[in-house]
Structures are given as C-alpha cells and as structure tokens.
Amino acid sequence: MGEQRRNLAEQNRRSWNEAVRAHESHRGNLARFLRSGGSTLFPEEIELLGDVSDKKVAHLMCNAGGDSVSLASLGASVVGVDMSDAAISAARTLSKDSEIPARFERVEVYEWLENAASDGRIFDVVFASYGVACWLSDLERWADGVASILGEGGRFVLVEFHPFAAMFDAEWRLARNYRSDGAERDAGGVGDYVCDSGGGLVPSGFVEGVGDFENPEACHLFRWGLGDVVSAVAGAGMAVEALEEYPYSNGERNFAGMRELPGRRMFPPEGAPAVPLMYGLSARKTSSAKEFPIRRGRSS
C-alpha cells in the first residue's frame, strides 16, 4: 500500500475510534444477551455460512465483535480482525463478559492478511459483512489475501450493502453515478448509524446513549461496483457458488421512510419500487488460487 493510502487508512482508524464509543453506548447488555443464547447474526449470514461448528473462522473488519462472538457461540474457533483500537477493546470485553471465547487482533486488514499468509495461518472460513468494500483501497489485493489464508475448499462469505443503493441520497433521489473504479470519496466521518437505526442493529435492546453525535475525524471511502467485487474474488482463484441480491437491508435505516418488517429487515417506503439494497456472496477456494500478493498491475 502506498504512503497516501496508508495515511487514509490511519485517518479512517481515528474516525472509527470516535464512532465506536458512540455505537457502544446504544447496545445495552449485549454480553448478557449473547450469554443467554442470543445472536447478532442475521439469517442471510447464517444461510450463506452454513455449519461453522469446529471450523476455524477469520472475521475481517469485525468492528466491536458482536458477530464474531455470535459465530463462536455456534462452535467456531474465531479470530476477529479490525484496525480500530476502540472496536477491538470493546470486542475483547464482550467476549470476556459473555463467557464466549473469541480472539481479537488489532491491525489494518491488508497488513493482517499479508502477515497471516506469511506465517502460514490457514482458515476454513473467512467472513466479512456490511460496510466492507467501501473501506478497501485495493480490491484485488484484498481478495488475493483472503484466498491466501483459506485452505483448499475453504469458503469466503461476504454480506454487503448493494453499491446500487449508493446512487441515492437519503430521500431516495438519484444523486450519484454508479461507480465501479474505486473512486475515492471524502466523508464527514463515521456516523452513529446504530442510533439512526433505532434498535435495528441492537437485538439485545436499544439504549439512548450518546445523542447528536458528530465525529470530529473525517473518513475516506472507496466506491466499487458489484462486478468489481465478484471479479476480484474470482480472479483470486475462488469459485463463486452463490450471489444473492436482497430488496431490503438488515438492521440499518439508510434512507428516509424505511419500513421495518419481521427480522429487523428494512424495506423502502410503501409503494416504492423494489431495488437491491444488499447482496450476499459465497465463494470456495480452488486449486487455481494465487499466493499473496502476485497480481501484476496492482497499485502499490
């Protein structure tokens, strides 16, 4: 990763550190919820992941660890990875207080993938979800890194917001071109989407917590199309086995007037056309997968 991209990643780490503190203020007693058998995973993730019992799972960009601990409660041996100090601290506390063991490592994702491959660490499943691609400056390098830590036949599962939805502003007006070139976009800072979702992301019970959060640290995003993600995964030697598109988003109220239907699924307003708001991808490593990192023409 070039110096400029490293600087952007560092700025994003600072922005996430600020936001995580606000997010955590709304979660209530998540540890007790998980300890009593609850889960933060949605059915779409569980269906794509399949049986993870006795599997070694790497959860990339794991945030504050709710999904990582939920995976561990299903019998997986889980390593959660995130660059945010605040997120990893919260994740470790959650694992301890819920009495569900999971391991958490604070490191930037490209560095972690490279080091894990160099150390010969191998996983049965690599998982990532919701707001992943927009933080990646180099999709091919990321996909190659994922393939490098999967054993042959290992699976990669991604559940993500659909890039088509990024064409709309908050009021459902078409406001942006569909981008598929990794264009960089400055943003005001990671927001308090947990609060904005009004409990959609807090199955353990919503707490008012921090109000009117304003992030003092800006962040930098990268816009990729669905084809970019699928091509990067396939190009790394992973065979795509499923690609699902969903006309709703799980938990988050990204737009005005969203209707909450059973399962904390958020749909467009009544009468609005059904549009893809989320997608799920499952891919399996094949014998043609490449070692990390080898693609020619990749930006440094």
Would you say residue 32 lies in a domain? yes
Would you say residue 294 lies in a domain? no
Would you say residue 296 lies in a domain? no
The residues facing 279 across adjacent strands are 160, 245
Average pLDDT by consecutive 10-residue portion of the chain (300 residues)? 80 96 94 97 97 98 98 98 97 98 97 97 98 94 97 97 94 88 82 92 91 93 95 96 97 93 94 94 82 45
Q: Please tell me the distance from the alpha carbon of residue 235 to that of residue 228, in angstroms, as a whole number.
A: 10
At 185 the pLDDT is 78
At 300 the pLDDT is 35
Would you say residue 300 lies in a domain? no
Would you say residue 290 lies in a domain? no
269 preceded by cis ω (within 30°)? no
Would you say residue 229 lies in a domain? yes
Count the domains in the chain.
Answer: 1
Question: 55 in the Ramachandran plot: left (φ > 0), alpha (ψ -120 to 50) or beta?
Answer: beta
Cβ proximity of 291 and 152 under 8 Å: no
Q: CATH no. for residue 63?
A: 3.40.50.150
Cβ proximity of 16 and 86 under 8 Å: yes
Q: Please tell me the distance from the alpha carbon of residue 266 to that of residue 197, in angstroms, as a whole number.
A: 9
Which two three-digit tokens encode residue 71?
Answer: 């995976």
Q: Which domain holds residue 29?
A: 3-285
At 39 the pLDDT is 97
